[in-house]
Amino acid sequence: MTRREEDLLELIRKNPRISQNEIADALGITRSSVGVHISNLMKKGIILGKEYILKQEDYACVLGGCNIDIIGFPTQKLIARDSNPGRVKISHGGVGRNIAENMVHLGVPTKLISAVGDDLYGKKILDHAASIGLDMKNTLVLGGKSTSTYLAVLDRQGDMQLAISHMDILNEISIEFIQTVRPVIEGAKFCVIDTNIPENVIGYVLDNFKNMVFFLDTVSTAKAMKVKNKIGAFHTIKPNKIEAELLSGIKIEKEEDLRKASEYFLSQGVKRVFITLGEKGVFFQDEKRHQLIPNPQISVVNATGAGDAFLAGLAYCYFHDKDTEESARFAMTAAILALSHEDTINPGISKENVEKKMKEIGLC
């Protein structure tokens, strides 16, 4: 689609009854040129009929948390109960928001449903979303509430040593609110849920959107337990080893145990299981096959955003109908790109850069 056609479509989206003369005036072109562009868009199947009925663009939905990350990077070995020299970086965060931003960078049209305060941090998150094309029009904005904040201290290897989450505002996401955004969720190709959302809300969504494909981000061992009895409602899950043990009740000590745990999830109704194993790689299983894919040797700068990038990679592949193994390899590479940058989200993540990195490290 040409830039002129994109400009014309934007005018039609804002006013489906706009006349060709009005479009011509707005774009500074002739009415006959407008007619040609509209004819071309109809041939492409983007405009479907009279009064400029537009084809609904496929999109994904994310229901989860967003917050501001404050991350400390020590320059020397971390000493407990002491002031450590280093750097502090403030960035946009939250599991759901991070996944959604990564998805946008990978080219997946995404709508994020979350909650922010009507404060400086909330405005910062909304402005940033608008600047990158992440749709947060359906996010709850609450006056008198503080936007979630996540404070973490890393070690010199980039692993998190201590963190505090102030995420009370997410408890304001209620069943009543979900009912107001029902069309947004129902219209999505699939929906990612992170377990920062209240347990009763997760249960309501899973019970009342039966035809929706749900992806799960477990977030943490404690929060993963919110979905233990609902795990079969998810199409795709991405627990780590400990979370997989807790959710399946199966102790994982060897590769055979990974398969047993995955088979448990599949027996509950899950279609695809990806168990992340840190430096040991990823084990995946679906109804047809299973495999352990080792991780290549890499240097870690910041480990906090790897899981979010991994799930975004899975989302990208599902959006484009990729198979399970290709999804695992693409998602692993997206996570590797995240690990290599000090920001929670690597600003250079894109479909092209992931594919380029896959070739470099032999994950094709």
Which whole number is the average pLDDT over 28-56?
81
Supply the CATH number for residue 327's domain: 3.40.1190.20
Query: Is there a single domain that holds both residue 262 and residue 124?
Result: yes
- Domain count of the fold of the chain: 2
Quote the domain boundaries for residue 329.
60-361
Which whole number is the average pLDDT over 155-162?
87
The pLDDT value recorded for residue 7 is: 87
Asked if residue 165 has pLDDT above 90, the reply is no
Record the pTM: 0.81
Given 37, 54, 71, the domain boundary residue is 54
Q: 65-89: per-residue pLDDT in tens?
A: 999 989 899 999 999 999 999 999 8
Query: Is there a single domain that holds both residue 184 and residue 89?
Result: yes
**Spatial CA neighbour of 178 closest among 167, 191, 189, 166:** 191
The pLDDT value recorded for residue 50 is: 62
The pLDDT value recorded for residue 45 is: 77
Query: Is there a single domain that holds both residue 328 and residue 261?
Result: yes
Q: How far apart are CA 301 and CA 340, in angstroms?
A: 5
Q: What is the DSSP string of 81-145?
A: TS---EEEEEEEE-HHHHHHHHHHHTT--EEEE-EEESSHHHHHHHHHHHHHT-B-TTSEEETT-
Which whole number is the average pLDDT over 46-65?
81
The pLDDT value recorded for residue 94 is: 92
Which whole number is the average pLDDT over 215-238?
96
Which whole number is the average pLDDT over 314-321?
97
Given 54, 71, 94, the domain boundary residue is 54
Q: Which residues pair with 285 in a beta bridge?
A: 273, 290
Query: Is there a single domain that holds both residue 79 and residue 12?
Result: no
Asked if residue 185 has pLDDT above 90, the reply is yes
Q: Where are the alpha helices (DSSP H) in the chain?
A: 3-14, 20-27, 31-43, 95-105, 120-132, 175-180, 182-186, 199-208, 221-224, 241-248, 255-268, 306-319, 324-339, 351-361
The pLDDT value recorded for residue 43 is: 81
Which whole number is the average pLDDT over 259-273?
98
Which whole number is the average pLDDT over 160-181?
93
Query: Is there a single domain that holds both residue 105 and residue 249?
Result: yes
Percent of the chain with pLDDT over 90: 76
